[in-house]
Amino acid sequence: MSQRYLYLHGFQSGPQSLKARETAAWLQQHPAAGQLLCPQLSPYPAQAMQQLQLLIAQQQPTALIGSSLGGFYATALAEQHRLPAVLINPAIWPERELQHFLGPLHNPYTGEDYRLGREHMQQLVAMRPARLTPARYFLLLGTADAVLDWREAVRHYAGARQLVRNGDDHRLQAWPQLLPGVVRFVDDYYRRQAPAAG
């Protein structure tokens, strides 16, 4: 079953990040598994969400992959558009986790200089879904994540499929080896959604 994956990169990242490139390379080697969409997102939350809403309307992806802050965005979009989402060390409370980044910033992937303010934190708060549908999600977490607390994700996505890798970090070094399981999860999600024959 071929899918169309929309990959949402994390904070201060982009399509040139190693994990995004690993995903693209794996899907090129396994074309039957699907295609990849991987946009460069605006550093401003409301603008990033506008980009994603337009892309979903135009390209109609069938699954989301979100890393870190991208996992937060993927959660909001999964609930709104009823899409399965694979979350890699997702940000749970980005308005809290990004507090110490307020002010001028430079994205090393794009060369863009920008400024994050408190209004952008409020934009993140407004995006959080009121409730989650656990069956939509596959969580991939590393216990050595020095950026985010993996235990918060375990609690927040209780009931969702979860794979916790002991000793793996925020980047999730094992990501390429986990991609076959990602594809199986998405395919199985749609098999479960299909009406019973007869």
CA-closest candidate to residue 92, choices 137, 52, 41:
137
SS3 189: helix
Residues of the chain predicted below pLDDT 50: 196-198
The confidence score (pLDDT) of residue 148 equals 85
Contact partners, residue 93, CB within 8 Å, separation at least 6: 152
- Distance between CA 47 and CA 185 in Å, rounded? 30
pLDDT in tens, 72-91: 999 999 999 999 999 999 99
Strand order in the sheet with 137-142: 34-37, 3-8, 63-67, 85-88, 137-142, 161-165
pTM of the shown model: 0.95
SS3 16: coil
The answer to whether the beta carbons of residues 6 and 23 sit under 8 Å apart is: no
User: Under CATH, what is the fold of the domain 7-193?
Assistant: Rossmann fold (3.40.50)
Q: What value does the mean pLDDT of the chain take?
A: 94
The confidence score (pLDDT) of residue 193 equals 85
Which residues is 142 bridged to in the sheet? 165
The confidence score (pLDDT) of residue 198 equals 43
Vertex 93: Cα angle to 167 and 57 (nearest 5): 100
The confidence score (pLDDT) of residue 3 equals 95
The confidence score (pLDDT) of residue 7 equals 98
The confidence score (pLDDT) of residue 197 equals 44
